[in-house]
Structure 1
Amino acid sequence: MKYLWTEDTGAGLHFWKLVNQLFFDNALVVESKESNQGILDSLISLNAKEEDEYYIAFDYVPDNQDIRNKYRQLKQLVEKSEAKVIILDMICFEYFILAFDKLVSWTGTGKTDKIKMREDILAAIEDHRIDLSKIDNQMTMHYLSGFKRYSTERVMKSLVGEFTQNEKWSVKGPLMGECWYKDCCVSEHPDSLRCGKPEVDDGNEKMRMLIQSEEIQKVIMINNSN
């Protein structure tokens, strides 16, 4: 069997299940370990069969000391696994959403300041972190300085929230917002934020476009042969 273990719950776990369904034809067993420590604990007690493979979706941002320490432990466990465990080279689920080239047009956001910040931050990503030396826009630097506990992952989550405030695009709840994976995007309440204009209505096609985006494809090129 092939397994994909994630620390994500809620919308992040839902995302990986949709990836499994639409990209891997449900060939993977997708499981949430609920935290990065949960992944480590599961690997420590792992008793893998000869044919088993494990893909680990572990959020890695080196500007968080605790995560850096846990990632070091993860790599040590992987080295002992005889190539049965593979770490997916990713920052976090929210980075996939933030880097998606259709995010602005699909969500219909009118926040020009946040659109500029998104551009600055994406251009400054290097080695799983935001390289602040690459940002010269004072508005963006002021935004980043406002985090009491700064880390690249916290910035990603916060900025994605700015673009997905409409509940139908939200990636904070128990599932991804309906607009990501269903056939339409309709604001049902007159006070709802606008939904934007995806060029396709079909829910599966929208998710395929997200999954086939460059940053996600870098991560999930898993061998899905039987």
Structure 2
Amino acid sequence: MPEEKKGKTYLWLEDRQGKAGYTFWKILMQQIRPDVIVESKKIVYDNSFDNLQVYQEQKLLKRYADKRKNVFLLGLICFEYILLEFDQLIHWIYAPEDDFLIKRSGALKAREALVKCLSSGEVDYKMLQEVSLYDVHLDSHNIEQLSAKLLFDLTRNTGFEVSKKMIGECWIRSCCEWDKRQEDDICGLDNNRLSLKAKMQSVYRGTSIMKEFSKTGLEVLL
């Protein structure tokens, strides 16, 4: 939720300092808009549209935000979904001949179906066969929980691994500055190594962040 205050722009997050989401947003904004101040606020919620409690809180928050000309709510589900929808995600985390492309085919199909569904404006993702086959506990999960589970399953045991507590070094460093990298740790960027700034620019362009920022008038020069 960006807010302009006394000539300054703030990005307020639900994520707490030290958590993966906060780290992601802090690094992203440092690279694409270093003047924006990232803060953790208890009044801000992820846009988990099928979590009834969060939905009610969002309605209340929107009512207050609508009264202010310098406060904008971003229509972003959660940081895990942002990375999940990233158009270069699979190309980055897996090498072309990676065994994970076969071993994790169910998760890959679920991700493709989920992103296609939500990007088209549909919200009934639980009816998708690929998603229901992937998550046997789907009925008890909301979109934020599903996104977190799916992203972790796709990225685990890679330099891009993401959990609630941790975001992989390969998201927040230039290639290849991962201290614990082994000789057989080869990703899709091995032959096209990127700086941290280039990575964050790609994430900005390849996700819904760019569209949501543009709605608020927050300009990013790439």
TM-score, normalised to structure 1, is 0.76
User: Please, what is the CA RMSD of the aligned residues?
Assistant: 2.5
Task: Sort the Cα spacing of 1:127 and 1:91 in 2 relative to 1 into closer, same or farther, 3 A.
Answer: farther
Q: Is the Cα–Cα contact under 8 Å of residues 60 and 67 in structure 1 kept in the other structure? A: yes
Residue of structure 1 equivalent to 2:87: 101
Task: Sort the Cα spacing of 1:23 and 1:188 in 2 relative to 1 into closer, same or farther, 3 A.
Answer: closer
Residue of structure 2 equivalent to 1:177: 168
What one-letter code is carried by the residue in structure 2 that aligns with 1:75? K
Deviations 1:76-97 (A, max 9, x none): 111232x121101111111110
Q: Distance in 1 between matches of 2:147 and 2:174?
A: 27
Deviations 1:165-190 (A, max 9, x none): 13621232655321113222466357
* Mean Cα deviation higher: 203-212 or 94-103: 203-212
Residue of structure 1 equivalent to 2:67: 80
SS at match of 1:188: coil
Q: Is the Cα–Cα contact under 8 Å of residues 27 and 224 in structure 1 kept in the other structure? A: no
Q: Percent identity?
A: 27
Residue of structure 2 equivalent to 1:223: 218
* Mean Cα deviation higher: 104-113 or 120-129: 120-129
SS at match of 1:5: strand
Residue 128 (structure 1) shift: 7.6
Task: Sort the Cα spacing of 1:18 and 1:173 in 2 relative to 1 into closer, same or farther, 3 A.
Answer: same
Query: 4+ residue stretches of structure 1 with deviation over 4 A?
Result: none
Residue of structure 2 equivalent to 1:200: 193
Residue of structure 2 equivalent to 1:132: 126
Residue of structure 2 equivalent to 1:28: 36
Q: Distance in 2 between matches of 1:13 and 1:196?
A: 25
Residue of structure 1 equivalent to 2:5: none
Structure 2: unaligned runs, 5 residues or longer = 1-7, 95-99
Residue of structure 1 equivalent to 2:22: 13
What one-letter code is carried by the residue in structure 2 that aligns with 1:95? Y
Q: Is the Cα–Cα contact under 8 Å of residues 6 and 13 in structure 1 kept in the other structure? A: yes
Q: Is the Cα–Cα contact under 8 Å of residues 130 and 152 in structure 1 kept in the other structure? A: no
Q: Is the Cα–Cα contact under 8 Å of residues 107 and 134 in structure 2 kept in the other structure? A: no
Give the total of aligned pairs.
Answer: 197
SS at match of 1:204: helix
Q: Is the Cα–Cα contact under 8 Å of residues 96 and 215 in structure 1 kept in the other structure? A: yes
Structure 1: unaligned runs, 5 residues or longer = 41-57
What one-letter code is carried by the residue in structure 2 that aligns with 1:201? L
Residue of structure 2 equivalent to 1:141: 132
Q: Is the Cα–Cα contact under 8 Å of residues 88 and 206 in structure 2 kept in the other structure? A: no
Q: Distance in 2 between matches of 1:153 and 1:163?
A: 15
Deviations 1:49-88 (A, max 9, x none): xxxxxxxxx411221110111001101111232x121101
Q: Distance in 1 between matches of 2:151 and 2:76?
A: 16
Task: Sort the Cα spacing of 1:8 and 1:195 in 2 relative to 1 into closer, same or farther, 3 A.
Answer: farther
SS at match of 2:11: strand
Q: Distance in 2 between matches of 1:142 and 1:115?
A: 12
What one-letter code is carried by the residue in structure 1 that aligns with 2:210? Q
Q: Distance in 2 between matches of 1:165 and 1:175?
A: 11
Residue 127 (structure 1) shift: 4.7
Deviations 1:194-214 (A, max 9, x none): 441223332221222112214
Residue 147 (structure 1) shift: 3.4
